[in-house]
Structure 1
Amino acid sequence: MKMLGLGDVRLHYRVDGPADGPPVVFANSLGTDMRLWDPILPLLPEGLRIIRFDKRGHGLSSCPPGPYSMGALITETEQLLDHIGVRDCVFVGLSIGGMIAQGLAVKRLDMIRALVLSNTAAKIGTPDMWAERIEAVRQGGIEALADAVMERWFSTEFLATPELELWRNMLTRQEDEGYIGCSAAISGTDFYTTTATLRLPTLGISGSEDGSTPPDLVRETTDLIPGSRCQVIRNAGHLPCVEKPEEYAALLTAFLKEVGHV
């Protein structure tokens, strides 16, 4: 675990695998930290250089006052990857992480050679919807949203398991200000025009029971990029890497081989 100072924010990050391995960068969702990817990492091919980080206001990164902008989140990711020396990576972004992926790919094609846009979209929700969620957190903390978030994140089957508590705890133990700040960043983002300019290998992944970014929304976004394809993981919600890690890892591994990354 390492920390990088970037002006008003300090980013927690971790690099695993050989220094000369093909880099794969993972960016997690709103309300989670880098542990989101733990279920799939042992299932990926050996020899990869795995880069994970907590965006501002999440995990062990610092939490500057909000609101945040998507531009700031993208720039901080860019600065982190420049610091590590990442080029020609496959960037896997889930939810807000997928928005960061889209914005960074437009900005730095030297840094990203292929995209995995998981449970994300060029535009998520509406400003009014996000304003309501932000106000709910201001009034009652993240706990006020937690049960509704779990229903969007997970399938009916997973909601009945003891493991649900792990992810509910992860959500509610995030900083309220970090959740609010990143919610504001999502609210102000519409990448339909810019994402449509991308020309790089892209895999979309969705969950059939995703209540945040349904499969049709993910497919609409990946369809903006010529040559992309989109896969639906059945009986999974917004975090299929948690619910169906074997299937998720298999899709990712196949894509890494397809683009010549392994």
Structure 2
Amino acid sequence: MPDDAFLVLPTHKLHYRVACEAAASSAPWLLFCNSLGTDLHMWDAQTTELARHFRVLRYDRRGHGQSTTPPPPYSLADLGRDTLALLDALEIERAHFCGLSIGGLTGQWLGIHAGSRFDRMVLCATAAKIGTVESWSARIAAVRANGLAALTTATAERWFTPTFNAEHADVAASILDSFAKVDAEGYNGCCAALAAADLREQIQAISNPVLAISGDDDQVCPPSDLNFIANNVRTGRHVSLPGRHIFNLESAAAFNAVLLGFLRS
């Protein structure tokens, strides 16, 4: 398949990529789902390694990257249905799932409402409820007033430790550049989905094996949030790795090893 492809839906287009090495051409599928304000390139370090073992599918959430922006606001169900539409279009009956932050919250919705479409689920730097209505309303207002570029300094502090920002400034800058370019309406539409989402009672219905992974210095979704998920799904385990919110980049080698070990166990 080509590097870049698009799924045309009634109100928007989803940009996606498929990657696998020849030896993995009949291997299980692995779907990656991004955090708020990032595009599919946040998984580059994982794709290089995991494409040796899986058929890897990445996509840009609506309003992010090269995907287009339908009229906001959005709901968590809208985001989950985008994922299912992509699986349907590619005729993927079942896949492993890995999502971070809002991607992990989308994964929880999928586990509750479409668990039969997935095998193992990896939920990273997320929570069954992220933030409050008030905090997300304030974020939406700030983006409307000043745009996303004005939030890059605070975002860098939330996403990466000072050590990573200093020693891997090029990686951090690339991710933050993508953040600043996200469509403001698409970003705020997803903030509205986060404001309304509360799955704390519903995740007990998730029967898929779940690995919840936290960043040990993540102040957005601290380890206690991931421990809650692991303890409230039917079969869950919690692991913490060094880093803040985007620890799949900060601890890429350790993350890849833990992910591969869980998916192949």
Deviations 1:19-44 (A, max 9, x none): 52210000010000000000122223
Separation in structure 2 between the aligned mates of residue 226 and residue 105 of structure 1, nearest angstrom: 11
Q: What is aligned with 1:181?
A: 189
Give the TM-score normalised by structure 1.
0.94
Alpha-carbon distance between aligned partners in 1 of 2:61 and 2:98, rounded to the nearest angstrom:
14
Q: Aligned residue for 1:5?
A: 8
2:153 is aligned with 1:150: no
Would you say the 8 A contact 1:102–1:195 is kept in 2? yes
Amino acid of the structure 2 residue aligned with 1:143: A
User: Is contact 1:67-1:184 (8 Å) kept?
Assistant: yes
RMSD of aligned alpha carbons:
1.3
**Partner Cα distance (2:155, 2:260) in 1:** 29
Q: Does 1:245 align with 2:252?
A: yes
Mark the runs of 5 or more structure 2 residues left unpaired by the alignment.
none
Summarize the alignment of residues 137-216 of structure 1 with structure 2, pairs less than 5 Å apart.
137-161=143-167, 162-163=169-170, 164-216=172-224
The one-letter code sitting in structure 2 at the alignment partner of 1:67 is P
Matches within 5 A, 1:212-251: 212-234=220-242, 236-251=243-258
What do residues 85-125 of structure 1 show as CA deviations (whole Å, max 9, x unaligned)?
A: 22231100100111111111222222101110000111000
Cα deviation for residue 45 of structure 1 reads 6.3
Alignment identity in percent? 36
Structure 1: gaps spanning 5 or more residues = none
State the Cα deviation string for residues 118-143 of structure 1 (Å, max 9, x = none). Answer: 00111000000000010000000012
1:12-161 pair list within 5 angstroms: 12-17=15-20, 18-44=24-50, 46-161=52-167
Greater fraction helix: 2
CA contact (8 A) 1:74 1:103 kept: yes
Query: For residue 192 of structure 2, what is the amino acid of its counterpart?
Result: A
CA contact (8 A) 1:43 1:246 kept: no
TM-score normalised by the chain length of structure 2: 0.93
